[in-house]
């Protein structure tokens, strides 16, 4: 059945950019929705964590040997007890994790803005399992940990709102309790949202690095130092040390939220940034970038000589390790979903099965839809290339007109495009629908479909998505196109409140207000970048 129809897909370029030359790398090093990077080193291994907001499981762990090539090895938050997301708003949930390693234990600290606030989990193996949360406090966000030489552990975070500051307390690891009052240690250089703090001890000095300006086009990284972790902190006279806000034509924008790591090849910095397309519109998310750092004669860090980040840069002088690429096609032959798949909020297990029909992902549509602030029957993976094709083979015979199942390009609950099989006027059909600002953009397109399996496809370019289907007879029908800019953070953020996520390709089923009695069977899903 799965070989009835064949599709030929293109090959990927490195990170969706120019071909990589020997001894260089291309930014971003982790493309797609991997924002708010934090990094730690353990021997010859490097690990990053990233924000996940309303998606589950939460906080992916990426692993590298050379800072350029990364692989997903797991998630910190894989249980509802660690990550309660019930009714979490879009772009709620998990904000800005930090990862640190101390005396044989990994620590990941973060904020669940839709839950009880700031907490940390621990693990001996970064791939997991991770512990149950140790809850700290409910104020502020962007927590970080600093382990000093004298055994003291400092808990550092943003306090307040846009006009806030960086504050600090001591953390007792034995009790998991905070000690002493919350003390302001630095207010930044005057930019809004002094956030994302990380502290380092370098050559006897305490350096406090933060981000300012908000996580958009005025984003900047600034740094201060002191002889004591409590301050007072002296601001670098050349702040900011990293920003692109004065380079509006640069292909990378909104760079910030950085973390430093010391390597055998000196200091390096990871940060987030975006790649706008067709103007100031970015839709695949905030991505992870890499740049070298050196300390000048006055002991201040300088990022990439210019305080900016380039597309092509000299690679770290570390032993290169390129991980094998995973298969483009997921045949759903395992009893568990592959690691790249995510749910919306905490999934309802009864909506999913990989065993009732071996070799298929079976979804049972619930009353919930993609528009609801809940967990519909949905699994999705990040779009990490501007030009790519996502396809799935679906077997679905709806019995009533409320039932539908298909393929969605999702930004959040109010912004998504879908192509799906449904029943209309007693006929099995394929629909193409745009939902913007929470409303269906009329008209919805419908085409008749032959009996049997159907392939649903979303083809992306930097500016458009094209949606089509292929019936069991091989007939190809294009249902319509949609603009990528309408799923951009800028289009959403300026009208519906801030959006911090990136585009996902997802498989879904719904009964549109009623529990569906008909299972939707997805035989395979394929994702490939195209030239």
Name the residues annotated as catalytic: 36, 195
Give kind and range of the element (H or E) at residue 496: helix 489-496
3-state secondary structure of 229: coil
Cα–Cα distance for residue pair 145/157, rounded to 1 Å: 9
Contacts 24+ apart (CB under 8 A), 460-468: 460/383, 460/385, 460/386, 460/387, 460/388, 460/389, 460/390, 460/409, 460/484, 461/386, 461/387, 462/277, 462/278, 462/386, 462/387, 463/277, 463/278, 465/409, 465/417, 467/417, 467/419, 467/432, 468/419
Whether the Cβ atoms of residue 51 and residue 60 lie closer than 8 Å to each other? no
Which of these, 58, 35, 33, 63, lies nearest to 48 by C-alpha position? 63
- Residues 328, 331, 336, 342, CA torsion sign: positive
The two tokens of residue 348 are: 């309802």
Which residues partner with 343 through β-bridges?
A: 56
Non-local CB neighbours of 386 within 8 Å, separated by 6+ positions: 16, 275, 277, 284, 460, 461, 462
Residues listed for the chain: 531
Cα–Cα distance for residue pair 376/370, rounded to 1 Å: 6
Across 241-286, the runs of DSSP E, i.e. the strands, are 242-243, 253-263, 266-274
Under DSSP, the state recorded for 53 is B
The two tokens of residue 285 are: 């998310």
Q: Are strands 24-26 and 45-49 parallel, antiparallel or unpaired?
A: unpaired
The two tokens of residue 296 are: 């000048």
Cα–Cα distance for residue pair 377/93, rounded to 1 Å: 19
Q: What DSSP line would sit under 331-358, residue for residue? A: ---SSS--TT-BEESS--GGGEESTTTT
Non-local CB neighbours of 239 within 8 Å, separated by 6+ positions: 189, 220, 222, 223
Which of these, 368, 287, 380, 377, lies nearest to 57 by C-alpha position? 380
Non-local CB neighbours of 66 within 8 Å, separated by 6+ positions: 315, 316, 318, 319, 320, 321
């Amino acid at each position: 059945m799965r070989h009835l129809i064949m599709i030929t897909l293109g090959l990927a370029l490195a990170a969706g950019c120019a071909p990589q030359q020997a001894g260089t790398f291309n930014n971003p090093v982790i493309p797609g929705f991997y924002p708010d990077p934090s990094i730690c080193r353990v021997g010859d291994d490097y690990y990053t964590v990233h924000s996940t907001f309303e998606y589950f499981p939460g906080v992916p762990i990426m692993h590298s040997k050379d800072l350029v090539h990364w692989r997903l090895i797991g998630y910190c938050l894989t249980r509802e007890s660690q990550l309660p997301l019930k009714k979490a708003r879009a772009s709620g949930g998990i904000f800005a994790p930090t990862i640190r390693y101390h005396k044989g234990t990994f620590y990941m600290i973060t904020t669940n803005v839709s839950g009880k606030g700031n907490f940390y989990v621990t693990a001996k193996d970064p791939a997991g399992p991770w512990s149950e949360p140790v809850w700290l406090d409910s104020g502020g966000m962007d927590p970080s940990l600093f382990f000093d030489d004298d055994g003291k552990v400092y808990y550092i975070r943003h306090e307040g709102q846009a006009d806030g500051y960086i504050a600090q307390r001591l953390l007792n690891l034995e009790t998991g309790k905070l000690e002493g009052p919350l003390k302001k240690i630095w207010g930044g250089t005057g930019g809004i949202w002094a956030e994302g703090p990380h502290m380092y001890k370098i050559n006897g000095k305490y350096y406090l690095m933060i981000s300012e300006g908000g996580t958009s086009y005025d984003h900047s990284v600034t740094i201060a130092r002191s002889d004591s972790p409590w301050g007072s902190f002296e601001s670098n006279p050349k702040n900011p040390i990293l920003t692109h806000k004065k380079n509006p034509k640069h292909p990378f924008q909104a760079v910030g939220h950085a973390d430093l790591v010391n390597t055998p090849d000196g200091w390096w910095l990871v940060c987030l940034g975006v790649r706008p397309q067709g103007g100031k519109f970015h839709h695949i998310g905030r991505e992870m970038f890499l740049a070298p750092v050196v300390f000048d004669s006055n002991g201040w860090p300088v990022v990439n000589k210019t305080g900016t980040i380039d597309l092509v840069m000299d690679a770290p002088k570390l032993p290169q390790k390129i991980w094998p690429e995973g298969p483009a096609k997921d045949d759903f032959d395992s009893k568990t979903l592959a690691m790249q798949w995510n749910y919306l909020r905490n999934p309802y297990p009864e909506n999913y099965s990989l065993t009732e029909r071996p070799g298929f992902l079976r979804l049972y549509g619930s009353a919930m839809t993609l528009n609801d602030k809940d967990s519909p029957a949905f699994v999705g993976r990040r779009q990490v290339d501007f030009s790519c094709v996502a396809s799935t083979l679906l077997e679905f015979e709806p019995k009533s007109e409320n039932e539908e199942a298909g393929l969605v390009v999702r930004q959040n609950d109010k912004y998504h495009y879908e192509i799906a099989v449904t029943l209309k006027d007693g006929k099995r059909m394929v629909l193409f629908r745009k939902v913007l600002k929470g409303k269906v953009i009329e008209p919805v397109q419908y085409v008749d479909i032959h009996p049997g399996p159907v392939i649903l496809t979303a083809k992306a370019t930097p500016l458009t998505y094209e949606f089509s289907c292929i019936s069991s007879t091989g007939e190809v029908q294009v249902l319509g196109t949609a603009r990528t800019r309408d799923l951009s953070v800028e289009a959403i953020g300026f009208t519906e409140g801030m959006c911090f996520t990136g585009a996902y390709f997802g498989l879904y089923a719904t009964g549109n207000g009623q529990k569906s009695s008909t299972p939707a069977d997805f035989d395979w899903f394929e994702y490939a970048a195209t030239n």
